[in-house]
Amino acid sequence: MKRVVLTYGTFDLFHAGHLSLLKRLKDLGDYLVVGVSTDKFNESKGKKTIISFQDRIKIISELKCVDLAIPEESWDQKIEDVKRFNASIFGMGHDWEGHFDFLRNHCEVIYLPRTEGISSTLLKNTLRAFDNSHVDDLKKALDLISSIVERFD
């Protein structure tokens, strides 16, 4: 009998931390099912993604460690997915610890440590330095520095 592992995520700005988590989850069983949050579901959570759902689910589907990628369309689908896929394990990153303990009535719930020093939030915060308002601020600062340098020439 296959040991099915189920997880979910947005997987925006896919990075090494995502890959590490998915590989560790796959190592817990024989078959890894990954729910990828749809754009509509993310909007309902107040999240805006950079990468579209179609591209994110394609990326996840192509990973060697992932056996099946499915859309995650609501919080409520988790119990049904556990039953539908006969999941033995539900796994998430430890930042979700306690949030999915209600699934313990249906399967084992595991929270794995996240990869230190990398996250989509960190990447998005870094990219904010390149948004238009920051670019304008940088241009103004450069103009000011240039005018000061010209005075000393």
Active site residue 45: yes
> From the candidates 2, 40, 45, 140, which is the catalytic residue?
45
Active site residue 23: no
> From the candidates 2, 23, 26, 47, which is the catalytic residue?
47
Per-residue DSSP letters for the chain?
---EEEEEE--TT--HHHHHHHHHHHTTSSEEEEEEE-HHHHHHTT---SS-HHHHHHHHHT-TT-SEEEEE--TTHHHHHHHHTTEEEEEEEGGGTTTTGGGGGTSEEEEEPPPTT--HHHHHHHHGGGSHHHHHHHHHHHHHHHHHHHHT-
Does residue 91 contact residue 111 with C-beta atoms inside 8 Å?
A: yes
Enzyme catalytic residues: 45, 47
